[in-house]
Amino acid sequence: MKNFLILDTSTEVQIVILVIDGNIKTFKKNFGKKNYVANMVPLMDTVLKENKINLKDLNGILVGTGPGSYTGTRVAVLTSKIIALSFNIPLLEINSLILLTSGYLQKYLTPLIDARNNFFFGLSLKNNEIILPEGRYNKVFLDNYPNHILITNDNIKLDLKKVFFYAKKVKNVHNLVPNYLVKI
């Protein structure tokens, strides 16, 4: 976990995080529903230039694979795959719901991403153990699980220890696909 770039575009917030020596050095967000492709590379470029880091200096890249925005998750996954393959660095993946709420300390936690029409992508945790697997759930059903956090631009919290605990190394970068919970 020395020098990592973390990407997530599963919500309306595009996130680029630079981890240096195991600590968050820079955390940049861009809010814009329709600008995933146009904003990802410039946001990454800004983060790297501000810290005088090149992609070749990274020890790995970690990507939130969704669930969430159909287009957004594809942009982050594809971008991370290109970087990992181009620079021959490890690629790690993590569920975006866990990534974006890893800094919350509640005993029970139910992170949610709006899936439209009173449905949400969500899961539920008790003491950091998944008690409701990720899925697309109706709001009424989710009322059975406490501490809802609808992920927005203002409430993203990260805990790097939890992030790297839940992250999984991608064995075959070519086979990594976004986590779609809805049939397209």
Segments making up each domain of the chain, as ranges: 4-175
> pTM for the complete prediction?
0.92
Tokens of 114: 């709006």
User: How far does Cα 3 stand from its chain's mean position?
Assistant: 17
Q: Please, are residues 134 and 111 in contact by the beta-carbon 8 Å criterion?
A: no
| CATH (residue range 4-175) | 3.30.420.40
In tens, the pLDDT along 67-105 reads 998 888 999 999 999 999 999 999 999 999 999 999 999
Q: Please, are residues 4 and 58 in contact by the beta-carbon 8 Å criterion?
A: yes
Q: How many CA atoms lie within 13 A of 92 on its CB side?
A: 19
What is the gyration radius of the CA atoms in the chain, in angstroms? 16
